[in-house]
Amino acid sequence: MGSWSSLKEIANQVNSGEVKAVQLAERSLGMVEKCSEYRAIIAAAKERALARAGEIDEKVTKGEKAGRLAGVPFIAKDNFLAFGANTTAASNILKPFSAPYQATAIEKLEAEGAILIAKSNLDAFAHGSSTENSDFFTTKNPHDQVRVPGGSSGGSAAAVALDIAPFALGTDTGGSIRQPAGFCGVVGYKPTYGLVSRSGVVAMASSTDVIGPLAASVADAGLVLDVVAGRDELDSTTIERDEKSYADLDDQIIGKRVGVIKEYMSEGLTSGVEQAVRNSIKKLQDSGAEITEVSLPSLPLALATYYIVCPAEVSSNLARYDGQRYGYFDSSATDLISSYELSREKGFGAEAKRRIMIGTYVLSSGYYDAYYKKAQLVRTKIINEFSEAFSKFDILLGPTSPTTAFKIGARTHDPLSMYLSDIMTVAANMSGNPAISVPAGESEGLPVGVQFIGPMRGDRSLLGFAKAYGDLG
């Protein structure tokens, strides 16, 4: 059937009775099966999806409006608590877990008529940049099956690129929406920290985790954000949303002050990625943007800072998975201590264990000042440098990743090399700024993403700029 219509068009067709929600759900479920070789999906929520589609069609038949996303199928990364399928976070330790309630983001989408079709694959607990750390299987890149889709939201990015559904939810802790979006050739949006509730989402690093959409267009991403954004009493870190709609964008390039991040344009880019980004800069300049180079001197320290702060929070957040309350329990244990040890030993994968060990180390009494405290000081410096830059610029620009999608297995035995995949994206998580990856052409047949970063709470203007860029073609 080809690509999906825009989310607005789909909802209008369903609300008018022109298209049945059941037909859309069946189409999406059919794509799950058709694209199974790419292994983007962990589990489908078939029965519940079809039941909800039937309810929406019945509502429309009665002459009632079914919502701004009426009948729109979507995919959720499998670290979102949702009904209809287990929530595993792609980890063996959560394999048997059935969610007792749904994430706030899922609830908001369903309230507007969206239909959850399936849960997508990810690096277990979102620990990774390639989806190879899933305890179940590795997702394949839709553009080349021997390459990774990126991570940790690789399953969500691949699902959108494969047209399994018109949009997907992901989480972005250090680039986990934007990097896979760049690798798979779709739009990936990381909102301002706290703009979308994290309630009901399996925590990775709580001070940098952000919920956001992956979609075929910036307009679709804006509509999803408009539905899920805003304060939530279940998440004390949420902030007030913009009074104006994120779906009604003032897309403009003329006169925008764009800072090209010097450190990102000299950080080991492949020639193809650099050329694609420079082509994007020229398009913006030709369209009336004021382009200037800008330096943020602390950016080369962002990755090291992230991989101290993030594992520290991971080690704390994973302490709850102990085999006692929910999740995997090792039945061979003979006492409480062996139950803890065996359940965590067999339930956690290698990357989860690595991050627990690193995090516990940097938080220990002998090393807290040497590592964690210094990392937080550098984090503050990064925040201040972004703040200063946005006193002079409206948008900051750089590549989403220094390379295109790498081959499956190429970095699995070198964790440091894998961590470098996030070198262009982690700073926006450390600072809390909104950022978006938009397709910027190809290099040797593989997608390249360009990244735009906006000021804190500047989501609406950032989306408008990104939409205008996308409209340039």
Q: Catalytic residue positions?
A: 77, 152, 176
Q: How many CA atoms lie within 13 A of 221 on its CB side?
A: 32
Which residue type occupies 209? D
Joined tokens for residue 358 = 């690193």
Which residue type occupies 252? Q
Joined tokens for residue 87 = 């929530």
CA distance 214 to 408: 22
**Can you name the residues that pair with 331 across neighbouring β-strands?**
none
3-state helix/strand/coil string of the chain = CCCCCCHHHHHHHHHCCCCCHHHHHHHHHHHHHHCHHHCCEEEECHHHHHHHHHHHHHHHHCCCCCCCCCCCEEEEECCECCCCCCCCCCCHHHCCCCCCCCCHHHHHHHHCCCEEEEEECCCHHHCCCCCCCCCCCCCCECCECCECCCCCCHHHHHHHHCCCCCEEEEEECCCCCHHHHHHHCCEEEECCCCCECCCCECCCCCCCCEEEEEECCHHHHHHHHHHHECCECCECCCCCCCCCCCCCCCCCCCCCEEEEEHHHHHCCCCHHHHHHHHHHHHHHHHCCCEEEEECCCCHHHHHHHHHHHHHHHHHHHHHHCCCCCCCCCCCCCCCHHHHHHHHHHHHCCHHHHHHHHHHHHHHCCCCHHHHHHHHHHHHHHHHHHHHHHCCCCCEEEEECCCCCCCECCCCCCCHHHHHHHHCCCHHHHHHCCCEEEEEEEEECCEEEEEEEECCCCCHHHHHHHHHHHHHCC
Provide the phi-psi class of 275: left if phi over 0, else alpha when psi is between -120 and 50, else beta.
alpha
Whether residue 152 is preceded by a cis peptide bond, meaning omega within 30 degrees of 0, is yes
